[in-house]
Each structure stands twice: as structure tokens, then as C-alpha cells.
Amino acid sequence: MLGKLIKYDVKATAKTMFPIYLAMVILTVLFSLMIKLRFDEGLLFTAVAVLFGVAVMGSAFATLVISVHRYITGLLKSEGYLSFALPVKTWQHIASKVVNALIWSLLQGAAFFLCFVLMGIILGDIEALRYALSFIVHVDLDFWLTMIRLTLLSVLELLSSITLIFMAYTIDYLAPRFRTFIAVIVVVLVLVLRVYFIPASWINSFDLGVFQWVWYVMAVVSALIYSAVTWFIPDRHLNLE
């Protein structure tokens, strides 16, 4: 059942996100071609440049807003009555929303990387591309292992951030007033506490290996705690709108 929930959330989000990512790629190509062909003056170029900047910066913001909106409308507002009426456990609803947000955050990163590559191909020269490909092919194993570790850490930290935002909005909906403001306060307080509980000796040692593993553990433990709080409130106490 969890797979069906994830599939439903991803398909529903795709109706909004795919056009945004497609527009970002098209504007990247158009903007790069205009620079390459030296058509870089006038009102048209200015308009394309502004739209390109808005699309690139707005895609990340849109991914976050739409993912959070699906969580709020699907579980915390009146639609939540229908969701919780299904023969599905609370943790499956929450897991579906978290996985959906994680998938689209990763796709947003992939779309941004694709735009960067396309811009490099259009504006760059052949020799630079050959050098980049040669570097990728001949780089040693330690480099790739480091990249894998950093990628895993980034994904875990992204997962922790998503669950933190969901937890903050879940707590926020217990308050009768000042919503969103309370969610922001919760996020800030939690982030401050996370930094506070890192032992200063680990930071001062500058041992990258130790610090990296500490960050792994903190990201996983944080995500589990945020998820547990997010599950507990709607499962036991939350009054939906």
C-alpha cells in the first residue's frame, strides 16, 4: 500500500513540477544560445535572462513549497479525514509524503545539474569538454569514494531537513493562531539545538573522518526523531481542520 501512496503523490506532484523543470531547461538553452550567438543586448535578452534566473532560483523554492503543501493539505487539513479513513497506517501516509519530497528534491538537483551541463556544452569549447571527460575517466578510486560519501551525507541531511519541516508544520497545526510563525520558530530552535549538542572537542580536532561519521549519525537520528514526533501527533492527538 505504501508503494501505491508514493506513486499517487509523485504523479500528483509531477503535474506541477515537470513543467517548471522543463521551462528551466528550455530557458537555459535559449539563454546560452543568445550569449553564444552574441545576441546579448536588448529587451528580449533581458526578459530571457530574468526568466532564466527566476526559473533556476524558483525551481528549488517551488519544490519545497509544493512538497510541504501536499503534506499539509493531504494530512493536516480537511482532506486528512479522507486520507486517514483509508486502510493505511499513519506512518505510511507520512512516509509517502517524505519520500515524495525527497524524490522531487533530488530531481530538482538533477535538473539543475543538467542545466549546468547544457550551458557548459553550448558556451564551452571542445577542448574544455575533452579535458573534463578525461578527468572523469582517469580520476582515482579515492575521489569517487569521497564523492559517494558526500552524496550519501547530502541525501541523509536532505531527509533530515524534510522531516524537520514536516514536524514543524505538524506542531504548528496544534496552535490556534500564529501558524507558520510557530513552524519557523520550531525549525530555528531545533537547528540551534543540533549545533549546540555537537561536542566542541570533535569540531576542534579537525578530524574530518570522525566529524563525517558524527554527521552521518546525527542526520539519521534527527530524521528518526522528527519522524516519530510527526507520526505521534496526527496518530494520537491532532484535531484536523
Average pLDDT over residues 125-129: 64
Query: Which whole number is the average pLDDT over 163-184?
Result: 80
Instruction: Report the chain's mean pLDDT, rounded to a whole number.
Output: 80
Least confident of 47-56, 77-86, 104-113, 223-232: 77-86
Task: Quickly state the pLDDT bin for 99 (edges 50, 70, 90).
Answer: very high
Q: How confident is the model over 109-124, as a mean pLDDT?
A: 84
Q: What is the pLDDT of residues 190-239, one digit of tens each?
A: 878 776 666 555 555 555 666 677 778 888 888 898 999 888 887 775 55
Q: Of all residues in the chain, what percent carry a pLDDT higher than 90? A: 5
Provide CB contacts within 8 A for 173, sequence distance 6+: 72, 76, 179, 238, 241
Residue 231, pLDDT score: 87
What mean pLDDT is predicted for residues 54-68? 86
Please tell me which residue, 142 or 201, carries the higher pLDDT value: 142
The pLDDT value given to residue 33? 85
| All residues at 6 or more sequence positions from 80 whose CB lies less than 8 Å from its CB, including other chains | 74, 234, 240
| Displacement of CA 128 from its chain's centroid (Å) | 31
Contacts of 241 (CB under 8 A, 6+ apart): 76, 77, 78, 173
CA angle 80, 227, 95 (to 5 degrees): 55
